[in-house]
Amino acid sequence: MRAPSFPRAALLAVTLSAVLGTAFAPVPAQARQAAPAKVDIPYEEFTLPNGLRVIVHTDRKAPIVAVNVWYHVGAKDEPAGRTGFAHLFEHLMFQGSENHDGEFFEPFKQVGATNQNGTTNTDRTNYFENVPTTALDMALWMESDRMGHLLGAIDQKALDEQRGVVQNEKRQGENQPYGQAWDVLTRALYPKGHPYHHGVIGSMNDLNAASLDDVKTWFRTWYGPNNAVLVLAGDIDVATAKEKVARYFGDIAAGPTMAQPPVNVARRPASTRQTMTDKVPQARIYRAWNVAQYGTVDIDRLQLLAYVLGGAKASRLDQRLLHQEQLVDQVSAGAYASQLGSNFVVMATVKQGVDPARVEAIIQQEIDRLIAEGPSAEELERAKTVARASFIRGIERIGGFGGKADALAECAVFTGDPGCFRTSLATVEGTGAADLQAVGRTWLGKGDHTLVIEPGARVALPEEPAVTPVPFALPKPDPKYATLPTTVDRKAGVPQTATFPELKFPALQRATLKNGTRVILAERHDIPVVQFSYEFNGGFTADQGRKPGTANFALGMLDEGAGERGSLAFADAAESLGARFAAGASLDGSSASLSALKENLDPSLALFADMVRRPRFEQKEIDRIKATWIAGIAQEKAQPNGVAMRILPPLLYGEGHPYAIPFTGSGTEAGIAALTRDDLVGFQRDWIRPENATLIVVGDTTLKQIVPQLERHFGDWKGEGAAPAAKVPAEVARPKQPRVYLIDQPGAVQANLFAGQVVPSTTDAGATGFDIANGVLGGDFTSRLNMNLREEKHWSYGARSMASSALGQRPWMAIAPVQIDKTADALKEMDREIAAFAAGRQPPTAAEVERIRNIQTLSLPGAYETAGAVLSTIGGIVRYGRPDDYVFKRKAEIEAMTPDQVRQAAATLDPAALTWVVVGDLKQTEQPVRALGLGEVVVVDADGKPVLPAAK
């Protein structure tokens, strides 16, 4: 379960910018192809007598229904001395209910639910899942049972378990570089007593003090149907919704009517600042203002202003700080909407050796200039286009984070109007330059708080002084609500799902361009967007004989200027069209992608052709990005997962192997520093070429429409010289005994544990069986590793295992971040679980195999809800030489899988040849790990080089 540090902004909100920037060269209006398509989320609603508000949106594109329940309670509603209660209770709601004994997830796993989770922020708590249409009764029974019949299932054991999990979630966040920033900011921005003064996850003291009576009173106070909104979106209509919701929720008694805190933006009378140190490679500046609340014209306009200032490659701050003066490696601006008041935040990661004060001064200059002069017409139009395009892409999904169900629920809870997004869209469309100047003058003056985090020792954020907890007083239920007669026999248990929707996958249509590129089209006409992925050979493995990191760096440079446009002008043109471009490499290949609005398809394809065929590789851009790239490597080394993904692959594959590289794809500092323009041109010439390439197209077009356009932009493209042959890497032997590598992370409050081993290729005949075996061991929330370390021991926020796809031997890894005093104990448990499973002492049970089989097959009818999911699957078909009907064949293979076959697949793992990596505070981890006797123990640095012991 996820608990965002900052409230999530509305669906319309513009996201933080990426690392790289741009300038102004819009695509002429006459280049656009068609009038913008009308976009909306139509809905109907009704309210039960007990106060449950229900909103229904019909979308028949896939046989699934998104179930999304929002309770209007969050961290803002916690009294003094009770911080973290809302989030702790979110976790407790997954522990089962009075009529369902066991994990809440279990019945959903049996029907192939997707996108299932729960989240808490300052203002609300929500629970969501996408389920097959035929499993809707089960989902509504489960949600209603925990709404109306939870308390009898919550005992001290469940409370202690989830309290431990939440505390490890808190440690996990704080253990990341800059991980304490948001807690520091909220304490500074809001005075004591303000509902937003404390963080969502709460304090260790308050979590430790939570009693069983406290949490039960919390539930009775806030979790009644009259304090909830239920959204059903997808393969459903309002008549069906009325019948089913009344049946399952109608007899639940209403709770008290709880007043919401008044809006309190907490405008600050003066600007303040503070500095702290952390184990980070670079200084980072955070500058934040308290601004207008959710649902206001001002917050919508502030989001546009943030976009112009620092929210995109075309932003003012990107141009000045990244391109012109090159003082930062990343800069962004965003406005984050919340119920009582919002935050406008500028963040900049300062280059090493640069004085943060100089960056701060430029940030202020650009804010002043934007407010004084206003945005140009082109800037404002781009911001509006990107906002609209973001909305269109968001509403492709019925559920999950930011999908249509979320948009409707958010609007209903915070404004009372499920369609408030329409008002925001209209506000954005009608905003002029003077409006942005006015909103900037109103909100971005004095009253900000600046936090600078500098490299140094990690200083733990002190717990705020303990306060006497405010006693929980249970208000009386609101008598104005009524209940419907009980029609469900709860004692009969969870409704069983007897039938399931048929798996459907779009037909793959094929063509070949004059340049030799194969085209694969899957039509999707749900939203007016077309997605493209040009698939090439030459991934990380193509770095052999080249400087480490060449492949990913070259791909990353493709949209940093192409054709007649430099980096800034190219980004301007893309944003003017609402188009998204990306390129990157993976282990065995590379790709360049485009997501285009149908109304601007042809000019977007023209830019895409320039990007792929005519990248400029300008020296000034190479130099700029090299510096930022090298800083990014330093950031990887400061992160527990990042440093492990850098050193574990060379340990698994051995020096000189094509896969013995950082799996981040970033290469090495020396390799990137030595890159020349000729290196990049040579890589593009050799590997980014039309022969042997495949262009995947998914979206709102037809083969008849798209092939002529592709021919016009790509048909005359020819590769230069002979293309190098793509080779499958040679196999390597596993080590003869286990090995343990320790990496020091001074001051860490967690240890991050990794076990790794090579396993057969993705193309191996036994790959599917191994995937099922991995699912049982660690590939799912309900897997053995997670149930042990999270749910039983509550030493970790989550443990998992995975095998990445590869043409050569795949890297298999088990991963667990654990509280640091349990490092050795957790390693022992991981080793025991892996060994018992692989050796057959604790083979997969029939129930475990059935659960993973159901997860991987029954979820398929809803798995291809989005064009992106379809495109990704086709990408796998291309990369690994799979047949067009691969999804159906794999489904049949999984359905036929027996426990004995999975047991045999589990034996693929050899616990006597594991490579362990432990990232943590060496003072606390080294001796307990050595005492385990897992294998030879070597202390290494962030580059994987052995560290000699200190002289005594």
Question: DSSP letter string over 274-285?
Answer: EEEEES-SS-EE
How far does CA 414 lie from the centroid of its chain? 24
Per-residue pLDDT, 464: 75
**Cα-flanking dihedrals φ and ψ of residue 366, to 5°?**
-70, -35
**Residue 725 near residue 903 (C-beta atoms within 8 A):** no
- pLDDT surpassing 60 at residue 28: no
Per-position DSSP letters for 361-411, written without gaps between them: HHHHHHHHHHHHH---HHHHHHHHHHHHHHHHHHTT-SSSTTSHHHHHHHH
Neighbour order of strands in the sheet with 228-234:
44-47, 53-58, 228-234, 64-71, 125-132, 114-120
Rg (CA), the chain: 28
Check whether 11 has a pLDDT greater than 50. no
Task: Say what the pLDDT of residue 461 is.
Answer: 79
Residue 9 has pLDDT above 80, yes or no: no
How far is Cα 27 from Cα 569, in angstroms, rounded to an integer?
10
Label residue 458 by pLDDT band (50, 70, 90). Answer: confident
User: Which pLDDT tens digit goes with each residue over 461-472?
Assistant: 787 777 777 777
d(CA 16, CA 59): 30
* More confident: 12 or 602: 602
**DSSP string computed for 423-485:** HHHHHHHH--HHHHHHHHHHHSSS--EEEEEEESS--PPPPPPP-PPPPP--PPPPTT---PP
pLDDT of amino acid 431: 97
Mean pLDDT of the chain: 92
Q: Residue 807: which pLDDT band, with cuts at 50, 70 and 90? A: very high
Predicted local confidence at residue 31, as pLDDT: 44
CA atoms of 855 and 849, how far apart (whole Å): 10
Residue 20's pLDDT band (cuts 50, 70, 90): very low
d(CA 678, CA 661): 22
Q: Are strands 64-71 and 228-234 parallel, antiparallel or unpaired?
A: antiparallel
**DSSP-derived pairing of the beta strands 64-71 and 114-120:** unpaired
* Residues 725-774 pLDDT 10s: 888 999 999 999 999 999 999 999 999 999 999 999 999 999 999 999 99
Could you give the CA distance from residue 322 to residue 631 in angstroms, rounded to a whole number? 13
Beta bridge partners of 529: 597
Check residue 18 and give its pLDDT.
24
Q: By C-alpha distance, which of 260, 253, 246 is closest to 123?
A: 260
Lowest-pLDDT range of 16-20, 156-160, 916-920: 16-20
3-state secondary structure of 556: helix
Could you report the per-residue pLDDT of 277-286, keeping only the tens digit for each?
999 999 999 9
CB 231 within 8 A of CB 28: no
By the 10 Å C-beta count (0-12 exposed, 13-18 middle, 19+ buried), 253 is classed as middle
Cβ-in-10-Å burial (0-12, 13-18, 19+) of 264 comes to middle
- Please report the sign of the dihedral spanned by the C-alpha atoms of residue 245, residue 417, residue 381, residue 624: negative
Give the C-alpha separation, 536 to 584, whole Å.
Answer: 10
| 31-75 confidence digits (pLDDT tens) | 445 567 678 999 999 999 999 999 999 999 999 999 999 999 999
Question: What pLDDT was estimated at residue 80?
Answer: 85
Q: Which residues contact 6 (CB under 8 A, 6 or more apart)?
A: 121, 182, 336, 343
- The pLDDT of residue 299 is 98
Which contiguous run of DSSP H or E holds residue 69?
strand 64-71
